[in-house]
Amino acid sequence: MSIPHYAVLGHPVTQSLSPRIHAAFGQQTGLALTYVALDTEEIGLAATLARFAAAGGLGANVTVPDKAEAAGLAHILSPRARRAGVANTLVLRDGVWHGDNTDGSGLVRDLRDRRGLDLHDMRVLMLGAGGAAQGVAPALLDAGISQLVVANRTRSRAYDLIDRLGDTERTRACTLREITGMGEFDLIVQATSAGHDGVLPTLPDLMPRADTVCVDLNYGRAALSFMAWAHQHGVQQAFDGLGMLVEQAADAFEVWHGQRPDTEPVYAQLRMSTGRG
């Protein structure tokens, strides 16, 4: 019997931790599988996905910049992927790609279960309105936050996101330059890709409180700039996205295999090897 094939698709993916994570999940659950990283820059997501399926691929994680296109390529979307407008998890069933989104559930699990945060009634600032922000915003609202302010370089894209969320009472949009007029926040979520270039998005005069929680959806080097900014402002709790990565991977693993692995030993092992955050 052939070994099931899975992959992470996007660009860049050469440094992705997903193959290590899913190898550990497979070992833990006793499932034999192969999991590889496939870069989509050369031929695009659609062609890469078609080649992968032809070679026996059964499921894929999708990362930047292809999550919106992945939702468009899926023939059937889960309710949470449809609501987000992006998909980070694909599974081939009866020759048809099904799309799901586990980013939001992964973030909430990390913040609530691993970090011990009570998200209920938190006032949240989301930096960015792209695919990463789209993926997690619905889950934050479902977790009971009191308000979500989406700040983006261009106001129109921020409004596009809150329009999609359909919660006019709890969502507001602004530009990055307008953040200071929005008051104080309990949680700041850095959802832009700026950290991949070693820079921060422009945050004029944004002053978090010491008890404001800061989380970057990126992990590793891409999160260093925001983490440093948070610590420079006296923030006591600042996290990168490694925990979210492991949790969303476990949710995807469950979509594919019907069982959810124990994430804590895998997270602990990766944290030791990648550094603190």
- Mean predicted confidence (pLDDT) in 100-114: 97
Mean pLDDT calculated for residue range 117-139: 96
pTM of the model: 0.94
For residue 194, what pLDDT is reported? 80
> For a pLDDT cut of 70, what percent of the chain falls above it?
98
Q: Count CB atoms within 10 A of the CB of residue 247.
A: 26
**Over residues 3-24, mean pLDDT:** 93
Q: Decide if pLDDT at 1 tops 50.
A: no
What class is the 5-101+245-274 domain? alpha beta
Flag whether pLDDT at 277 surpasses 60. Answer: no
Amino acid symbol at 170 = R
* pLDDT band at 276; cut points 50, 70, 90: low
Per-residue pLDDT at 275 exceeds 80: no
Annotated binding-site residue numbers for NADP(+): 128-132, 152-157, 217, 241
Domains 5-101+245-274 and 104-240 share a fold: yes
Q: Give the list of residues 6+ apart from residue 54 with CB closer than 8 angstroms, or none.
A: none
Q: 10 Å Cβ neighbour count for 161?
A: 22
Listed by start position, the domains of the chain span 5-101+245-274, 104-240
Assess whether 67 carries a catalytic annotation. yes
Question: Region 225-239: what's the mean pLDDT?
Answer: 95
Q: What DSSP state is assigned to residue 57?
A: E
Residue-wise pLDDT tens digits, 58-74: 999 999 899 999 999 99
Q: Which residue has the tokens 């404001």?
A: 212
pLDDT of residue 261: 97
CATH 3.10.20.30 given to domain 104-240: no
Question: pLDDT digit string (tens) for 246-262?
Answer: 999 999 999 999 999 99
- Active-site entry in 38, 48, 66, 67: 67
* Amino acid in position 185: F
pLDDT given at position 204: 72
